[in-house]
Structure 1
């Protein structure tokens, strides 16, 4: 048989797996709470690479698993061996990859390790030196190869161990598991007696389908923070009466939902009794509190039943990264690049209610701690990092207003609809997820119809360095003017609610474009697709600043004509408190006239004089046809279009006249024939 051939194991019976032998504290397990396994993702096959020193029993282990018997002789390296899908409860087949131990075939072994989903690392129970080689060679080698797969340490030839040198597996492996956290399980087996041979590959399968790393923090020896956050959301969803504890009925509903089996009253009593012994605060007069809920799930993990905890998490939509799976996030797909996503009225109403609920002191703002509490049930707070950090209106104390709160959500929905929908669900949105977001009409169609129904407008802010772009963003957020200049090296955003005539409320999002990044951005054909208005800021006291902004304006307008994304434009003369440069003022006025757009808007953020510029930006977005620049090329196209349209109308009119004349002649001929 060639090494490239594979062996299919014909076994069809299922293997019953006892409690795993793991280096965790022994905690009683409630049988009623242990449900069916749920595989992680739609896996077709799991590749298991078996490595270790020569003579440790790698090939014999694989052969014993495939034949259910001890082989008298095996080749040095077996070909890939396929185990049937129905061998283990997860119904996922395994492919066992036996690897050579020799240095000469290190390259082939390394390639298999990089392709492996999990690694079985063997040592011989009767050769202490082979165990030492795990930490001195094999595990460092895996790290050197950057193998990310979980590792199962397996002691083979248990039947040959000297009875006078018996040591517990826990004492033998504790240090190595602490040093190499990629090890998830240690087990000893015997191919001669078939003792725990099936368990080896069950643990290998489980390490992939039900991984430990996302759940367990080895340093703290407890659940990871993302796992606790996920369980907090699950607890809140199950606590239907919102009294902070799961009563017997809620606890039973949780059990049925996750494991399709009800808890008997005596079992509920037993659960609460054991929890109360270990965590006194885990049970109150109502039922199981969140600390108790955490203890129960942590208990399964420490017992080695990761599949049980994963069954709970996956039932509530979590993937292996402890984030909601895509099938729980029905984000509407955009058919055109000039469409965008907004929150529906239903979602905005939910967020209004959430804000009122969090605002316990009724000061119409949320403290940073209250915002963090809002995202306690999410994997992390999405607003702690760019581009959302500091992108919304806040008070001097760092409190966020309702306008800032809603604007922040609008920004997240515009930039990352999937993240926005996921966080809506994380914080408790129970409506139909598909009804939380909607796709806006194409901007090109809005401009054709000269109207729009959008509630969120995105404005690109261009300009030279020190022109006053950042000051424009900060003023939108109500921040005081600062004379300290900090160059903008990356794009930044500002979002806030704008009231129009005291009735209509729209959200304006300003996106500041660093001057140096424009060439790179213009290389993208769809760069302007998401832009409702392009604003060009220049320092009215600096001629160079105006020339640079005029150059940027020309490039953006040209890009819009070439790509078809012709965008409304406004020119802003900033720093009006300084002595304006007459030549720059006159030239900017002349350029806007030639382009057929509104005259430059003069502002001074230092003096607090914004000239109502944000309302003017919204007005330009709502009436896009009034602010789209007209160049010589676009005018010729427009004239040709009008000429062709007039010509078509003329031809149609002439054709109708000819047809009418022909019809009249036919009627006259018929009349004459009748008279005759």
Structure 2
């Protein structure tokens, strides 16, 4: 079934272009007059100008423009132009002129196919003789069987101005017992398995049969009315706020959305149900059953695609499955509720999510109990951001699946507080890592509200490159002052990447001194090549749980890091020694892991 709903870049409805075409004398202009005025006039112009249809003609508040076309051969080019730009086409014929019916299948419909026009087509037959009984279904059935793009056919006359299918009223009344019985009998005769005799109701097979029957017999409006009643829009998505309770996740910029235990319990059960081969993983085929009532899988495109750890066969473990759901609730609560409804969540959708406490309050209370932590990953180019996200979801550090993508990149996994990727019975939290794109000239490009969503920020730099360090600390100063000015401060950590390489001269002393001066911890040593980021993940979760700590003390944007970097360096402090020992232990630990 074709759809004619279109939207502009601001997501507001664009006017639907309804183009009326047909042979000369088939009532094109008269039909437009009837549609716009509700009456016929003896002096109908040969060609109507563009005409706005009254809003009351439509059950849905969608603006529409009806466009008349000429019947003159010399105007064919203009007709073709209008047809190509149409959102819907009304094709006229006159029942007192059989040749106009023949022209539908001999000229007009083949022409539309040749032009690759893929919009709904409505055949409108003008009935001149009021006394002559005409069965339009019988007349149009052969054509509609051959040309499925003809969605419906209607009949109108000057005596009965029943001219457009969108005038069908929404049936806001219950069926009487006799009507219900007639409907059940109608379905049972044509689809025996479509009726549940014991419960005196229609089964899913019966409902699908009835919907198909309505479509095939031109009752498109009735089908759409049913869909509207269940909250669907023109794009076959659930948008009705009676279905998706948008008010349930209204929040301030520094609040987040998480799944409740009720939702997680439902998803765990769904995972078991759809794990058809009982291998404790869900593959694409099994996932298709979970989302069979949805327009598509929500995870086929960015930011969800390639954001989670997968098996070699592209399957998801329970932890990966739940991680994606938590990530979707975090960054797009409406979408998470929409897909929970598609997955037949049996409770009130608003009970599936909860809004966390404001981070500003968490800082005052010096404690955060968020189960989902969002970490923004900053750093200059070539500092190892992508490699870090790759290793976080079990991929090789040089995996290039996201290489060249301009989309924001996420990676999500479940981690226990000690920083070890979870096992079956360990306490776990969901960690969402978001790589922030960096432009050498413009720096980071995030609004204040976007920064407010950050629970912890880490700043990577290449420990073998002094310029990388300077850009990273400058970036930290920029982010810290911007977030402070906006009132959305969050913990920040410095991360020294590529520690398998030789550090630049005085790297350790300088980095320790600067981080001490701004009141955050010494840089955390990591190496994507050597692996093992347990300590880093532990520090991220610890920082999130203590949102009052590791807040950079930056005086102002004007002074920011330049003052810190230019300070004279002194002897290595106790913090420096600890960093050296940490780096050495890290290398030794990694080397042992590789040799074992």
TM-score, length-scaled by structure 2: 0.73
Query: Of the candidates 82, 91, 108, which is equivalent to residue 153 of structure 1?
Result: 91
Instruction: String of CA shifts for 1:275-301, please: whole Å, max 9, x gaps.
Output: 47xxxx989999988666544322211
Query: Of the candidates 374, 392, 396, which is equivalent to residue 458 of structure 1?
Result: 374
Task: Give the structure 1 partner of residue 345 of structure 2.
Answer: 429
Query: For residues 236-275 of structure 1, what are the structure 2 equivalents within 5 Å?
Result: 268=184, 270-275=186-191
Task: Give the structure 1 partner of residue 82 of structure 2.
Answer: 142
Counterpart contact for 1:121–1:152, Cα < 8 Å: no
Asked if 1:300 corresponds to 2:214, the answer is yes
Task: Give the structure 1 partner of residue 578 of structure 2.
Answer: none
Counterpart contact for 1:534–1:569, Cα < 8 Å: yes
Moved more, 294-303 or 257-266: 257-266
Cα shift at 1:270: 4.8
Task: Give the structure 1 partner of residue 151 of structure 2.
Answer: none
Inter-partner Cα distance in structure 1 for 2:16 and 2:77: 25
Q: Which has the larger radius of gyration?
A: 1
Q: 1:198 to 1:549 in 2, by over 3 A?
A: farther
Inter-partner Cα distance in structure 2 for 1:359 and 1:563: 46
Task: Give the structure 1 partner of residue 286 of structure 2.
Answer: 370
Tell me the SS of whatever aligns to 1:386.
coil
Query: For residues 110-189 of structure 1, what are the structure 2 equivalents within 5 Å?
Result: 117=64, 119=66, 121=68, 130=71, 136-143=76-83, 146-148=85-87, 150-155=88-93, 159=96, 161=97, 167-168=101-102, 171-172=105-106, 173-176=108-111, 178-179=113-114, 180-189=117-126
Task: Give the structure 1 partner of residue 301 of structure 2.
Answer: 385
Tell me the SS of whatever aligns to 1:625.
coil
Inter-partner Cα distance in structure 1 for 2:393 and 2:539: 17
Task: Give the structure 2 partner of residue 232 of structure 1.
Answer: none
Asked if 1:197 corresponds to 2:197, the answer is no
Task: Give the structure 2 partner of residue 414 of structure 1.
Answer: 330
Inter-partner Cα distance in structure 2 for 1:198 and 1:498: 72
Q: 1:92 to 1:426 in 2, by over 3 A?
A: closer
Inter-partner Cα distance in structure 2 for 1:421 and 1:69: 46
Inter-partner Cα distance in structure 2 for 1:381 and 1:535: 32
Query: Of the candidates 267, 277, 290, which is equivalent to residue 361 of structure 1?
Result: 277
Q: 1:497 to 1:133 in 2, by over 3 A?
A: farther
Task: Give the structure 2 partner of residue 403 of structure 1.
Answer: 319
Counterpart contact for 1:536–1:553, Cα < 8 Å: yes
Q: 1:591 to 1:168 in 2, by over 3 A?
A: same
Query: For residues 19-38 of structure 1, what are the structure 2 equivalents within 5 Å?
Result: none
Asked if 1:346 corresponds to 2:269, the answer is no
Tell me the SS of whatever aligns to 1:606.
coil
Q: 1:484 to 1:578 in 2, by over 3 A?
A: farther
Q: Which runs of 5+ in 1 are unaligned?
A: 1-42, 94-114, 124-129, 211-254, 635-676
Tell me the SS of whatever aligns to 2:506.
helix
Q: 1:54 to 1:268 in 2, by over 3 A?
A: closer
Instruction: String of CA shifts for 1:631-658, please: whole Å, max 9, x gaps.
Output: 3469xxxxxxxxxxxxxxxxxxxxxxxx
Query: Of the candidates 228, 247, 256, which is equivalent to residue 314 of structure 1?
Result: 228
Inter-partner Cα distance in structure 2 for 1:533 and 1:438: 20
Task: Give the structure 1 partner of residue 414 of structure 2.
Answer: 497
Inter-partner Cα distance in structure 1 for 2:60 and 2:547: 56
Inter-partner Cα distance in structure 1 for 2:30 and 2:461: 77
Task: Give the structure 2 partner of residue 527 of structure 1.
Answer: 450
Q: 1:59 to 1:482 in 2, by over 3 A?
A: closer
Q: 1:55 to 1:306 in 2, by over 3 A?
A: closer
Counterpart contact for 1:258–1:311, Cα < 8 Å: no
Q: 1:272 to 1:545 in 2, by over 3 A?
A: same
Cα shift at 1:476: 1.6
How many residues are paired up? Answer: 508
Tell me the SS of whatever aligns to 1:155.
strand
Tell me the SS of whatever aligns to 1:467.
coil
Q: 1:197 to 1:615 in 2, by over 3 A?
A: farther
Inter-partner Cα distance in structure 2 for 1:547 and 1:208: 68
Q: Which structure dedicates a bigger proportion of its chain to helix?
A: 1
Inter-partner Cα distance in structure 2 for 1:375 and 1:530: 29
Counterpart contact for 1:51–1:119, Cα < 8 Å: no
Cα shift at 1:508: 0.6
Q: 1:209 to 1:537 in 2, by over 3 A?
A: farther
TM-score, length-scaled by structure 1: 0.65
Q: 1:47 to 1:549 in 2, by over 3 A?
A: closer
